[in-house]
Chains A and B, each alone.
Chain A
Amino acid sequence: MPNPPEVAHAILRALLPADARESVSGDLLEEYRDSRVPAAGELRADLWYWRQVGGIWLRDYWWLVVPAVLVLVVGDIFNTFRAPSGASYLDGLPKIVPAAISPLGVVFLLALATAYGNWRTQRWGGGFVAALGVSVIVWLFMAAWGSATFYPFAQVQQSNPYWVQAWHWSTHRAAPPTVLGLNPDTPDETFLRWIFWDNVGALIIGGIAMLVASFVFGGIGAILGEIRSHWRRAAISPE
């Protein structure tokens, strides 16, 4: 009998709470084998299966994706649009405000996703899948956001002293860092080219950071889950 994609199947089983794991995964498997593969072939049936898993994930965790995206978008807007002096409009506000709309805010939401996923599914994999899913969707959104806003934002940035100073400092450093032997920050680099690579770098580093955070929080959730299971087993059979 044909089988759905293994990765999708593993994600589904990690995603579902204990009381729904067997029945829901069995329902999808039955639909896959009985209807989807005979009607449309394995490739389309695989796509259908992935869509179902994605839909189930989104239904459970959309409420974490939306604030994570908002945090990054609002943070990007305040980072781009500054006072004519170059100062941030957030200066003078309580520190929690700029912290909340910084990458720290996203880290907090990833930790929340892991905790909720672990609690909901009672499995360490549940927390990891929750955090990883939030990371992937947020990263894809930011890639699209960055592509759409790069040029209009750059027009604003290149006339703001904060950004002009950052560009000048970056391209005139005595010992600029190199990436794989390349040094994009040279004194003759235009502002547009510099800000483009700055955005690309931020996207790459942001993606890696979210991935690492997902693994770290997922791992913490796993350890806590194991400790909790151990205590439960000890409570049931103390001898």
Chain B
Amino acid sequence: MADILGSFEQAVLLAIVRLADGAYGRAILKEVAVRLDRDVAAGAVQATLERLERKGLVRSRLGSGTPIRDGRARRFYTVLPEGLRALNDARKTHDSVWRGFTRPLKARG
């Protein structure tokens, strides 16, 4: 099995899956912030996207800009089959680790 994805990497990959054709930098940043319910640094998302691309889990392409960003190009991301396999492996590991525990956990005594 390949390296297990970190939780932030999973959040970023799942954001790309959810956003589908609309998965570009800023949209991914907002989606991750919503799912993690906290402010997220743009640098953290950018570094994670670069790392995922180096690992061969996602692919990117430059797309059109919009007036609100003064026409600057947007970089769109797509999850590759290897990325989906990594996500499924991470899910399997997570479920295996938590198997047998009720949620939420309660303190004894």
Contacts and interface: CB of A to CB of B under 8 A. Distances in A.
Interface of A: 1, 20, 22-31, 33-35, 51-52, 55-56, 58-59
Interface string B21-52: 00011100110000000000111101100100
A27 B29 contact: yes
B53 to A, nearest CB: 11
A26 B74 contact: yes
B26 A31 contact: yes
Contact of A24 (B41, B46, B68): B46
B72 A25 contact: yes
Contacts of B41: 51-52, 55
B59 interface: no
B47 A27 contact: no
A163 B26 CA distance: 57
Given A23-B62, A52-B41, A55-B41, A29 B72 contact: yes
A10 to B, nearest CB: 15
A32 to B, nearest CB: 9
B69 interface: yes
A85 to B, nearest CB: 50
B62 to A, nearest CB: 7
B43 A29 contact: no
Contact of A29 (B29, B62, B69, B75): B69
Main secondary structure of the interface of B (DSSP, over half): helix
A27 B42 contact: yes
A27 B43 contact: no
Contact of B69 (A20, A27, A35, A59): A27
B65 interface: yes
A28 B45 CA distance: 12
A30 B42 contact: no
Contact of A31 (B42, B47, B70): B42
A33 B47 CA distance: 23
A52 B74 contact: no
B73 A22 contact: yes
B102 interface: no
Nearest to B47: A59
B96 interface: no
Contacts of B47: 59
A1 B66 CA distance: 13
A59 B25 CA distance: 17
Contact of A55 (B44, B62, B70, B72): B44
Contact of A27 (B26, B44, B50, B62): B26
Interface string B64-106: 0110111011110000000000000000000000000000000
A34 B30 CA distance: 12
A26 B62 CA distance: 12
A34 B26 CA distance: 11
A23 B74 contact: yes
B68 A1 contact: yes
A26 B29 contact: no
